[in-house]
A = this chain, B = another copy of it.
Amino acid sequence: MKHFHDIVAYRRAVRKYHDDPVPDAVVRRCIETAILAPSSSNLQLWEFYHVKDAAKKQALVEACMSQPAARYAPNLVVVVARHDLWRERCRANLEFVQSLPEDEPDEKPIKAARYFTKTIPTLYWDFFGVAGLLKKLFAFLVGLRRPMFREVSASEVRTMTQKSVGLAAQTFMLALAAEGYDSCPMEGFDSRRIRRILGLPRGAMINMVISCGKRAPGGIYGPRFRLPLEKVFFEV
């Protein structure tokens, strides 16, 4: 196994691949690793679609504006943020917490139950953005007096979901790198068309499309550019 830093450094956005696909078992294994990523309130609102059907794949390439990273990719994986499934995922967490042996003398399970039946629904429930605006006002008023969570609007809660799903997407790409495979994360796509291809409801957001394969010559566009550490890291 390569050193962790080497794995991260090996990952580059690859836009030309050899023809051989990543074996299904490798894709599956990398996703098994990816879903160990943390997520907001452990809701795990992610889904991964490995698109293998030729017609669907062609439609997906077109929905990715036929960009080279999609066109030349042997494998395409769509990472979806299922914000619409928050109730179901709350329930799954609650059932898990309640299934734990009750030999602990503390209040953690009770607290967890309250969290998944009260706190999260209060934050995630919305009605065409109106409830979010009211929550925003409430957070502002409370925040005048004491520290208060403020990312309560409908779009901010959706952002939280997208952010969490991204953690799994990055872990997936690093897992591919650890296995000696390459990837390219894409955000330039038509999310509405991708939802239609995958038969997903409106509440599902496309987080990324990740192409996978083995890098071919010319697959990496130029040397890596990163800002110097002093521009982005501060000890205060």
A232 partner, pick from B35, B38, B151, beta carbons under 8 A: B35
| A211 interface hit (Cβ, 8 Å) | no
Contact across chains for B8 and A234 when beta carbons are under 8 A apart: no
B8 touches A37 (CB 8 A): yes
Chain B CB within 8 A of A18 CB: no
Quick check: A38 and B13 within 8 Å, CB to CB? yes
A206 to chain B, nearest CB (A): 9
Does the CB pair B175–A174 fall under 8 Å?
no
Instruction: Indicate if A113 sits at the interface (CB-CB under 8 A).
Output: no
User: Contact flags (1/0) for A5-39 with B, using CB distance below 8 Å?
Assistant: 10111010100000000001000100111011110
Chain B residues closer than 8 Å to A190, beta-carbon distance: 143, 147-150
A2 CB contacts on chain B under 8 angstroms: 1
Residues of B within 8 A of A96 (CB): 225
Query: Which residues from 50 to 77 on chain A have a C-beta closer than 8 Å to any C-beta of chain B?
Result: 50-53, 56, 62-65
A147 to B42, CA, bound (A): 34
**Chain A interface residue bracket vs B:** 35 or more
Determine whether A141 belongs to the interface, using a CB cutoff of 8 Å to chain B. Answer: no
Task: Establish whether residues A56 and B5, one from each chain, have CB atoms under 8 Å apart when the complex forms.
Answer: no
Contact of A1 among B1, B36, B175 (CB under 8 A): B1
Q: Is the Cβ of A32 less than 8 Å from the Cβ of B159?
A: no
Contact B31 A222 (CB under 8 A): no
Contact B163 A232 (CB under 8 A): no
Q: Which of A100-144 contact B (CB under 8 A)?
A: 100, 108, 143
Instruction: Give chain A's interface residues, CB within 8 Å of chain B.
Output: 1-5, 7-9, 11, 13, 24, 28, 31-33, 35-38, 40, 42, 44, 46-53, 56, 62-65, 89, 92-93, 96-97, 100, 108, 143, 147-151, 155-156, 158-160, 162-164, 166-167, 169-171, 173-175, 178, 185, 187-193, 198, 207, 221-227, 229, 232-236
For the A-B complex with A1-B3, A44-B226, A163-B207 known, give 7 more contacts whose Cβ atoms are closer than 8 Å. Answer: A1-B4, A4-B175, A35-B226, A38-B185, A46-B232, A159-B159, A166-B167
